[in-house]
Amino acid sequence: MEAHPELFIQGIVWTYKRKDDGEDPPEWKVAPENAKHLAERGYKLLDALQVTPGHNDLGELKTDFLAKWVKTVRETCSQLARAEIAHICLGKLLAHAPADDEGIWPCEPVRDVMEDIQSEKISQGVCTGLYNLREGRGRTRAAAG
């Protein structure tokens, strides 16, 4: 997914309907008979993602790489009438970001991208993602089912 934001976009397209009730282009279109199955798979894909994209070849999280990845997701999802939900999903993903070397969370590349965009929906997604992370850590395996 790191090199292919299209996979993240595909998860959004499979899971969430267009805001404008329009039709997706052929390359993103989902056959009606597959819609439910793909929606479930897309949701599981988005929920399973825990690695912040934007790493260079040395494994370092870089602002420019992350910004480019996020820009691709935002622009494509906007064209597909899914901008709002894309921002929420991006926020949930960014909730998994590491702290920086001084222990400040999120790390500087994520802070820079979020400050540059200043999206309330991304912030909302981060809050949801953090809540979900807390929930997962606070329950024992037996209590989780």
**7-33 confidence digits (pLDDT tens):** 999 999 999 999 998 999 999 999 999
* pLDDT recorded at residue 136: 57
Least Cα distance to 94 among 59, 58, 51 occurs for 51
Buried b (16+ CB within 10 A) or exposed e, 103-134: eeebbebbbebbeebebebbbebbeebbeeee
In a domain, 138, yes or no: no
* pLDDT recorded at residue 140: 39
Phi, psi of 31, deg, nearest 5: -65, 135
In a domain, 142, yes or no: no
Q: How sure is the predictor about 2, in pLDDT bands with cuts at 50, 70 and 90?
A: confident
Least Cα distance to 50 among 132, 144, 119 occurs for 132
Range with lowest mean pLDDT among 2-6, 39-43, 66-70, 119-123: 2-6
Q: Please determine, for residue 60, whether its predicted confidence score (pLDDT) is greater than 60.
A: yes
In a domain, 123, yes or no: yes
Q: For the residues 21-48, what does the mean pLDDT come to?
A: 96
Are 133 and 142 contacting, i.e. CB atoms less than 8 angstroms apart?
no
Q: How many domains, in total, are found in the chain? A: 1
In a domain, 51, yes or no: yes
**84-133 confidence digits (pLDDT tens):** 999 999 999 999 999 999 999 999 999 999 999 999 999 999 999 999 99
State which residues form the domain around 98: 5-133
In a domain, 143, yes or no: no
In a domain, 124, yes or no: yes
* pLDDT recorded at residue 27: 95
Angle at 86 between CA 82 and CA 90, to 5 degrees: 175
In a domain, 35, yes or no: yes
In a domain, 36, yes or no: yes
Q: Please determine, for residue 142, whether its predicted confidence score (pLDDT) is greater than 60.
A: no
